[in-house]
Amino acid sequence: MIRDATEHDIPEIRAMIRELAAYERAVEQARATDEQLREALFGARPAAYALIVEDDTTGEVVGYALWFPRFSTWTGTRGMHLEDLYVRPHARGGGHGRSLLAFLAALCLRSGYERFEWWVLDWNDPAVDFYRSLGADFLDEWRICRLTDEPLRHLARQEKTAPGPRGDRGPGAAG
């Protein structure tokens, strides 16, 4: 069974985030707190949305998906970015991941979204094979760029703030 996450699911979601991070060999990077997740998923301006998948027989939470809308200047339409797809190891192979992706694909179409995108680590052969079996394209010509920590702070110090109001076009949008 797939359902929208509720605030009561936050501890379980955070636990699964840490499980996913451990699998991806980056558990030290999974620092989100329950309060941060509560604000991101259920605050006044949600940054993302989460689905929970439960085992039909036991009702146990066996996985989740966390996604947020994107916008393409090329198509002029929104799309969906899947940040996390996770099914607990003991429940893998039971169709839960495929069900979550099918649910999200249908949500994309109902919402008028033209793209459904996510990232996968190149060494995660089971996931790569699974996504290929669904017909996913791998965009090898694109590279992910990321600034964090000191490089992010260094670049931010170079900002030359223009006078006047910034408006409310998004967090920190230039005026």
Cα 94 from Cα 53, distance rounded (Å):
11
Count of beta carbons in the 10 Å neighbourhood of residue 23: 14
Segment 39-67 mean pLDDT = 97
Residues classed as catalytic: 131
CA 139 to the chain's CA centroid: 18
- Give the three-state DSSP class for 4: strand
Domains and CATH numbers, the chain: 2-156 (3.40.630.30)
Asked whether the predicted pLDDT for residue 174 surpasses 60, the reply is: no
Segment 115-128 mean pLDDT = 93
Provide the pLDDT for residue 40: 98
Asked whether the predicted pLDDT for residue 168 surpasses 90, the reply is: no
pLDDT tens, residue by residue, 134-164? 999 999 898 888 898 899 999 999 998 766 5
H or E stretch covering 15? helix 10-23
pTM of the model: 0.85
Strands (E) located in the chain: 2-4, 49-54, 61-72, 77-87, 115-118
When pLDDT is cut at 50, 70 and 90, the band that residue 175 belongs to is very low
